[in-house]
């Protein structure tokens, strides 16, 4: 039976600082998640070789896999640390669960396990991925929708901008301008919205650039990594069809008519 959790945490004081690993031992208890383990380390930040160090820095808010802020690499796999139970993600060696924690690599580092995910929100701006209204007043009942469309839109709306899909996508890298699967799926979500559809042409213009749909290499890592089961590959397939149809309409002069 396990009695100890050994956390190996990648530390880096700032973006330009040298990185290193520090290892901590804490008592194991059932249903202990990674965030709770980090909190235990924070109470007594002493490494296994007896050094007293600064507590590791991380982000967390909702603790129920809704906000997306606690995304990190847990034993090499990107996921939400609030729902990562030590007994599920740890490697058991003797009476000790070993867990390595690292920040996501596709985002600028702030400190330790904290990264800057603001580029995801900047990408949503590029794609006009929102519903345009001119006020917050009551606009009345929305137009009725086919239930199949509604269910698909709801599945797309579960995205919490956590960054898991970008971290898992091999096409998202320093040499590629590809915005990643999250922005593509959210663009489709608002193209299907009765009001958001008014910006469909603007979104299509963006999606047909090098940053858009053509950057997808169809690795399908994104849909496997998504913690909310957003149908990313289905959305990308739909956008492939939609952008092709848009370019044909634009070529024959039907766009904007």
Does residue 24 contact residue 47 with C-beta atoms inside 8 Å? yes
Of 45, 33, 48, 35, nearest in space to 90 by CA = 33
Q: What is the pLDDT of residue 256?
A: 65
Does residue 12 contact residue 19 with C-beta atoms inside 8 Å? yes
With 60 as the cut, is the pLDDT of residue 257 above it?
A: no
> Rounded to the nearest 5 degrees, what angle is found at the Cα of 80, between the Cα atoms of 37 and 67?
110
> What percent of the chain stands above pLDDT 90?
86
> Is residue 232 in some structural domain?
yes
Task: Out of 90, 111, 132, pick the residue that ends a domain.
Answer: 111
CA distance 32 to 67: 20
Residues 6+ apart with CB under 8 A from 243: 204, 207, 208, 212, 213
> Is residue 256 in some structural domain?
no
Question: In terms of residue numbers, what domain contains 28?
Answer: 4-111
Tens digit of pLDDT for each residue in 168-182? 999 999 999 999 999
What stretches of the chain adopt beta strand conformation (E)?
A: 4-11, 20-27, 71-74, 77-80, 91-93, 96-102, 109-111, 114-115
Around Cβ 138, how many Cβ atoms within 10 Å?
6
Q: How confident is the model at residue 190 (pLDDT cuts 50, 70, 90)?
A: very high
> Is residue 81 in some structural domain?
yes
CA distance 147 to 201: 25
Indicate if 168 and 133 belong to the same structural domain: yes
Indicate if 95 and 137 belong to the same structural domain: no
> Is residue 77 in some structural domain?
yes
Rounded to two decimals, the pTM is 0.92
Q: How many residues does the chain have?
A: 257
Indicate if 77 and 202 belong to the same structural domain: no
Indicate if 105 and 163 belong to the same structural domain: no
Question: Integer distance in angstroms from the first to the last C-alpha of the chain?
Answer: 70
> Is residue 184 in some structural domain?
yes
Indicate if 100 and 157 belong to the same structural domain: no
């Amino acid at each position: 039976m396990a009695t100890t959790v050994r956390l190996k945490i990648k530390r880096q004081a700032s973006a330009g600082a040298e990185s290193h690993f520090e290892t901590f031992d804490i008592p194991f208890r059932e249903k202990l998640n990674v965030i709770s383990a980090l909190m235990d380390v924070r109470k007594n930040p002493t490494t296994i070789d007896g050094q007293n160090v600064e507590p590791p820095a991380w982000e967390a808010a909702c603790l129920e896999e809704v906000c997306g802020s606690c995304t990190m690499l847990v034993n090499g796999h990107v996921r939400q640390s609030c729902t990562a139970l030590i007994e599920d993600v740890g490697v058991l060696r003797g009476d000790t669960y070993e867990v390595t924690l690292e920040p996501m690599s596709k985002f600028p580092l702030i400190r330790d396990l904290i990264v800057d995910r603001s580029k995801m929100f900047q990408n949503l701006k590029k794609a006009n991925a929102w519903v345009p209204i001119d006020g917050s007043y009551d606009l009345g009942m929305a137009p009725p929708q086919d239930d199949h469309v509604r269910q698909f839109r709801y599945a797309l709306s579960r995205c919490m901008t956590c960054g898991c899909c970008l971290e898992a996508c091999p096409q998202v890298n320093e040499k590629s301008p590809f915005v990643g699967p999250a922005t593509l799926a959210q663009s489709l979500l608002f193209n299907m919205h009765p009001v958001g559809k008014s910006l469909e042409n603007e979104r299509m213009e963006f999606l047909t650039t090098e940053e858009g749909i053509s950057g997808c290499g169809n690795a399908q890592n994104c849909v496997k990594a998504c913690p909310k089961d957003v149908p990313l590959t289905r959305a990308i397939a739909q956008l492939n069809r939609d952008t092709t149809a848009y370019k044909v309409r634009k070529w024959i002069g039907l766009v904007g008519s």
